[in-house]
Amino acid sequence: MRRILVTGGAGFVGSNFVHHVMATTDLDVTVLDKLTYAASPAALEGCPPGRVRLVVGDVADAEVVGPLVAGHDAVVHFAAESHNDNSLRDPAPFVRTNLLGTFTLLEAVRRSGVRLHHVSTDEVYGDLALDDPARFTEASAYDPSSPYSSTKAGSDHLVRAWVRSFGVPATISNCSNNYGPWQHVEKFIPRQITNVLAGGRPRVYGAGRNVRDWIHAADHASAVLRILERGRIGETYLVGAGGERSNLDVVRLILRLLGRPEDDFDLVGDRPGHDLRYAIDATKLRTELGWRPAYSDFEAGLADTIEWYVAHPGWWRAHKREVEAAYAAVGQ
């Protein structure tokens, strides 16, 4: 492999992946990104000159995607509409990008024989009970809850079908909740950090007992590269770093790290269909591919992330007002 195409490489996890590729390989990267509201081209600054090229385009546009795919040795597919709350307000872009976009990419890969890695989510498996010791594995049944997760589940099914029916050389990863720099302020951790930095209070849905399995985006990036390089074609790998925490625990930790009383938050209306708990068993990735996360201390990773938001007010303030207006319209 010399040149790879990274869809959605100007987004939160995709840009982390591009930096990881720059730091650990000799590969050149073309980023294909539509530059939606969620993109941050600035996140790609600092990449070695000449090794990263940005093509602005839609992954659902076959005329753009076909020739681009044919000119690369592999494709890593991050591009997606990624936020559950947005998918409840307007599912249409989720169906278009997550389903039609993945279909378009698969057809291009089928014609050219290029290797594909499809980046997906643990939400395709639905949720677990709070008191259930079980975790998701590669054998868990698909049972998505939201428009977002159902379109990601559908995209996984498309990839599996193209592997089996057409012999497309693809792998899939399903990862848990990411945190780290450059995450959009619509998402839970950046929203609460920036609420506090803007002089407000965190806003926690329902009773705050829902559990998410947090992993640093840099660790997600290293897992995706490991699967691209060493994963077995046709296989799915779950990605997680043992970071289960309730939303209440996370928000209290954010408040403590920012020097505020731990009960200084508001409980607001719940997300419709809100998944209770996600938890990943990453044994296959660890044993088969030898992957290990670099960030084993969630509190330290969260403290670094808070520092990053403190240091980049110009970036997040540009989105904050619009995001909060959309939440306020539904009482959240």
Find the shortest distance in angstroms from Cβ 3 to ligand NAD: 18
Using the minimum distance from each CB to ligand DAU, give the nearer residue, 30 or 210: 210
Which among ligand DAU, ligand NAD, none contacts residue 10 (Cβ within 5 to 8 A by kind)?
ligand NAD
> Of the residues 28, 123, 127, 219, which is catalytic?
123
Using CB under 6 A as the binding rule, whether residue 78 contacts ligand NAD is answered as yes
Using CB under 6 A as the binding rule, whether residue 13 contacts ligand NAD is answered as yes
Using the minimum distance from each CB to ligand NAD, give the nearer residue, 69 or 175: 175
Q: Is 122 a catalytic residue?
A: yes
Nearest residue to ligand NAD on Cβ basis: 11
Using CB under 6 A as the binding rule, whether residue 154 contacts ligand NAD is answered as no
Backbone angles phi, psi at 233, to 5 degrees: -55, 135
Alpha-carbon gap, residue 326 to 89, rounded angstroms: 9
Instruction: Figure out which of the listed residues 5, 44, 80, 189 binds ligand NAD, where binding follows CB under 6 A.
Output: 80
DSSP secondary structure string for all residues of 139-208: TPPP---SHHHHHHHHHHHHHHHHHHHH---EEEEEE--EESTT--TTSHHHHHHHHHHTT---EEETTS
- Asked if 205 and 271 count as a contact pair (C-beta separation under 8 A), the reply is yes
Residue with tokens 């806003």: 203
Find the shortest distance in angstroms from Cβ 149 to ligand NAD: 9
By C-alpha distance, which of 117, 297, 131, 310 is closest to 214?
A: 297
Using the minimum distance from each CB to ligand NAD, give the nearer residue, 19 or 152: 152
Element (H, E) at 301: helix 298-311
Alpha-carbon gap, residue 301 to 81, rounded angstroms: 25
Backbone angles phi, psi at 21, to 5 degrees: -65, -40
Element (H, E) at 298: helix 298-311
Which among ligand DAU, ligand NAD, none contacts residue 191 (Cβ within 5 to 8 A by kind)?
ligand DAU
Instruction: Figure out which of the listed residues 20, 135, 152, 252 binds ligand NAD, where binding follows CB under 6 A.
Output: 152
Using CB under 6 A as the binding rule, whether residue 38 contacts ligand NAD is answered as yes
Which among ligand DAU, ligand NAD, none contacts residue 204 (Cβ within 5 to 8 A by kind)?
ligand DAU
Q: Is 307 a catalytic residue?
A: no
Using the contact rule CB under 6 A, the part of the chain among 19-27, 29-37, 228-236, 292-300 near ligand NAD is 29-37
Alpha-carbon gap, residue 269 to 207, rounded angstroms: 9
Alpha carbon of residue 304 to chain centroid: 19
- Asked if 130 and 209 count as a contact pair (C-beta separation under 8 A), the reply is yes
Using the contact rule CB under 6 A, the part of the chain among 5-13, 102-110, 125-133, 139-147 near ligand NAD is 5-13
Beta strands in the chain (DSSP E): 3-7, 28-33, 52-56, 74-77, 115-121, 170-175, 178-179, 203-205, 211-213, 215-216, 236-239, 244-246, 266-268
Residues that bind ligand DAU (CB under 6 A): 82-84, 121-123, 176-177, 187-188, 191, 203-205, 210, 212, 247, 271, 278
Using the contact rule CB under 6 A, the part of the chain among 10-18, 106-114, 271-279, 306-314 near ligand NAD is 10-18
Neighbouring-strand partners of residue 216: 179
**Residues at the contact surface with ligand NAD, assessed by CB under 6 A:** 7-8, 10-14, 32-36, 38-39, 58-60, 78-82, 97, 101, 119, 121, 152, 175, 177-178, 184
Active site residues: 122-123, 148
